Structure 1
Amino acid sequence: MPSRATVLDIGCGTGQPIAHHLTEQGCIVTGVDSSPEMIAMAKDRQPAGDWLIADMRTLSLSRTFDGLLAWDSFFHLGYDDQRRMFAVFRRHANAGAALMFTSGPSYGEAIGRLEGEPLFHASLDGAEYRTLLDAHGFAVVAHAVEDPECGGHTIWLARLR
């Protein structure tokens, strides 16, 4: 991304640690999350950011960004909602924009736990993610499955062609 890149953090939560890191690197961050409580915490922790309460599935900000990030957020959506998100990504991407998101390692659903509460996770398979990226103008730059260097996350990095 260019210096002073604009980044859309989709499902930003509290803005920690990702948005904080991006801001330290000189990025101009806009974070969206459906939780008013999470957005309030993000505003307190990162006052320089632009923090918005919004549902990622219907996001329409009428502006584009140099980078899009859906870290530990996108995979809380069901299969069909994930498929529809690729149009949302495209709509918010500048020419040449980077897109990074996390997914599961393979097709399936799981229920995890966060602070004792059940938490839904779903993932398409890798071939379908590749097809969706390609259909929306993104080329895969890198893909790591359960990367041990990154806490076991499955990570996708793509660039808008």
Structure 2
Amino acid sequence: MFSPHGPSLRELAVQALSSVERGYDLLAPKFDHTPFRTPRSVLTATTEALAELGPFSKGLDVCCGTGAGMSVLRPRCPELITGVDFSAGMLAQARAAHPDATWVRADVRALPFAGHFDLAVTFGALGHFLPAERPALFAGVYRALRPGGLFAFPLGAPPPPTSVPYWAAVGFDLAMRVRNAVWRPPFVMYYRTTPLAALRDDLAAAGFTTTAPALPALGRRRDGSPRCRLVLARKPADPR
């Protein structure tokens, strides 16, 4: 799973027993050598899909981490690209890799922007928010977008119950719940708390109109369903 340049088992254990913020500060220098980084194929498919939905001028990567989403925003948002995250360590890595972008340290549950961006994206971060926290996150993204702006993020199809990935996710989430019940500070990361139906409901409550087309470049499963969708949440052109 990890390259020789990735974190050791001991380093991962220390991270897992830290808070989310401190854990990612520790992991940041080696994060891009782990399987937790969004795969290039997903970034490329998202970039291609967004080409048909613009034009955009200013883009925001929510929970930007080390800046993988900049490869999506840069070709689509010629005026300004901004990343926001609460981990100083992750932002340091992102700033070094993408000095042309603007970087903001903030809690994304209280985004410090209003009507500034045409496009917002996020990659692989929603599992870090409990369902009760998503309304604040989505309300902040809504507020950060201009009227008519778009919030986009890929969402993989849930694995079937007969598969090994399904039970691996069940086991991971169970272990994380036990860990958080007996250890403080909590480390919030769950794989099974972001079903599409629940995300649609939370996005609608925030004011978005949402669709979720397939990302055809990422293929289909044996039953013909897409392996990955691109959730597209549009802020109305006239929010009133």
Tell me which interval the TM-score lies in, with the shorter structure as reference length: 0.7 to 0.9
SS at match of 1:24: coil
2:72 aligned to 12, 18, 21, which one?
Answer: 21
C-alpha separation in 2, matches of 1:75 and 1:84: 15
Q: Any conservation in 1 of the 2:134–2:202 contact (CA below 8 Å)?
A: no
**TM-score, length basis structure 2:** 0.54
Percent sequence identity over matched residues? 28
Secondary structure of the structure 2 residue equivalent to 1:158: strand
Q: CA deviation at 1:63?
A: 4.4
Structure 1 stretch displaced more, 44-53 or 23-32 = 23-32
Report how many aligned residue pairs link the two structures: 152
Residue 65 (structure 1) aligns with: 117
| RMSD of aligned residue pairs (Cα, Å) | 3.1
Partner of 1:97: 149
Which residue, 140, 148, 152 being the options, matches 2:210?
Answer: 140
Q: Distance in 2 between matches of 1:124 and 1:105?
A: 11
Question: Paired residue for 1:11?
Answer: 63
Structure 2 CA distance, aligned partners of 1:143 and 1:49?
29
More strand by share: 1
Computing the radius of gyration over CA atoms, which structure comes out larger, 1 or 2? Answer: 2
Structure 1: state its 5+ residue gaps: 113-117
Q: SS where residue 89 of structure 1 aligns?
A: helix
Q: Residue 11 of structure 1 contacts residue 56 of structure 1 at CA under 8 Å; is this kept in 2?
A: yes
Against the structure 1 CA distance between its residues 70 and 26, is the aligned structure 2 distance closer, same or farther, given a 3 Å change threshold?
closer
Q: Using a 3 Å threshold, how does the CA distance of structure 1 residues 51 and 74 change in structure 2: closer, same or farther? A: same
Q: How far has the Cα of 1:153 moved from its partner?
A: 4.3
User: Which string of whole-angstrom CA distances, capped at 9 and with x for unpartnered residues, describes residues 86-117 of structure 1?
Assistant: 211211111111111345656xx8537xxxxx
- CA 149–13 in structure 1, closer or farther in 2 if over 3 Å, else same: farther
- Aligned twin of 2:233: 158
Q: Distance in 1 between matches of 2:129 and 2:188?
A: 11
Three-state SS of the structure 2 residue aligned to 1:98 is strand
